Amino acid sequence: MTNSEKLPYDTASNCIKYEKKLYCRNYIIFRLPHFRTGPVFSKTPQGIHAVIQSMDVEVSFYSPSIVRVFKKPEGSQPKKESLSVIKLPEQLTPDIKTDGQSVTISSKLISATVNLQTGKVLFEAANGKKLFTEKDYGTQFTAINDAGNPTYTVRQAYLLDKNEIIYGLGQQQNGKLNQRGQKLLLKQGNTSVCIPFFQSVKGYGIFWDNYSPTTFTDNVQETSFDSEVGNCADYYFMFGGGGDGVVAQMRELTGQSPMMPLWSFGFSQSRERYKTQFELVDVVKKYRALKIPLDGIVQDWQYWGKDDNWNAMSFEPSTFPKPQAMVDSVHQLNAHLFIVSWPGFAPKTPQYQEFKSKNMLINFDTWPPGANTKPYDVYNPTARNIYWDYLNKGIFSLGIDAWWLDSTEPDHINIKEKDFDQPTFWGVTEA
């Protein structure tokens, strides 16, 4: 319909019926054959949109090998700006075909087939090999109230091959490489780094883009992600052909990691802490005297003094009277210096006072016990700039070589239920 823009569109839906078809601005909705009132789908720039089982379902090719699957309750308008994904969809035109019951979107490498009755999405390689599939009716939204905000728990179930091996989910302390047959709560903690991502020996990877505590379950019935809070089901399928290829796709999706300097691959000396600058320098001198190779040394906590000055990002004069001389001595001995920094501040520090005056602290207790230390709101860009200004002036400007960024969970102590109801700069983050 070449002159569709001249026809009177309905102002509410922005659509118009014309010659038994329904047209909407910028896309056309196809009514499938043999269904008088059956399912419909519409083309989008990177794939398709459909309403299935009271859900809006979008399948979008971000590249020939990366596909986003996005589902939400029909008619809802969640605001989703990913904290993890930086990749934008590439300009490409996937091939779209339908048989009336399903629609298949294809690139030169993979295809995604959407069952228009159940909402199931199936992924295959270009040669027709089945790679990965959701379960029929595998997406579930359960309405909940989260700190006064109506939202959902979100669950997505898949089916893996019986003997398929998968790796990932972060740094799990379960002694296993293959994560089949596991039930794991993906929630950050000390020594427990959780990433809702796994990759298969079949050459694909799955990234579940949700930040709330999420239970990963794999058993003989299904494999699933079940998130405590979320307004959408949002995941990315990446086909890399093998392990390295999947890692490359994940890096393309979420950002490249810079190559570390060569010296950082050598030996670095660390202990609970060095109590004075003289002790630290003497340790480096001893290594040199013994002709034992040493590339770095780590200064951990309390160089700032007592706990009531926690993370002041400055040196206690009685124990570190000349920090610039310490840094220079380490460099003259051909070594490098790491130094620790934390996300929480004790009330005596100027950082705490400034963050508190600007409402940039999150009100729960973090390490150390009894110090009334609070973490700052890392979601606030102004707070991040303040944090860096103190860190740069007090530490980095001395020529420190590397950071020991501790307590990135952050440590949460004296836990209260109300601790989890606090909004950040982003408000109530919609996962």
| Pair (8, 58) in one structural domain | no
Tokens standing for 282? 């003497």
CATH code, domain with 181: 2.60.40.1760
Residue of 316, 371, 381 whose CA lies nearest to 347:
371
Predicted local distance difference test score (pLDDT) of residue 24: 52
Q: For the beta carbon of residue 343, count every other beta carbon within 10 angstroms.
A: 22
> Is 80 a residue whose pLDDT tops 90?
no
CATH code, domain with 303: 3.20.20.80
- Paired with 111 in beta bridges are 106, 124
> Is 25 a residue whose pLDDT tops 80?
no
| Pair (109, 239) in one structural domain | yes
Cβ contacts of residue 291 below 8 Å, gap of 6+? none
Q: What is the rounded average pLDDT of the residues 144-164?
A: 94
Q: What is the rounded average pLDDT of the residues 269-282?
A: 96
Residue of 234, 172, 156, 158 whose CA lies nearest to 200:
158
Q: Where is the domain boundary, 254, 282, 305?
A: 254
pTM: predicted TM-score of the whole model, two decimal places: 0.86
Q: Where is the domain boundary, 192, 219, 254?
A: 254
Domain limits for position 53:
41-254
Q: Where is the domain boundary, 213, 237, 254?
A: 254
| Pair (87, 235) in one structural domain | yes
> Is 427 a residue whose pLDDT tops 80?
no
Residue of 347, 336, 354, 330 whose CA lies nearest to 403:
336
Listed range (22-31, 54-63, 169-178, 332-341) with the worst mean pLDDT = 22-31
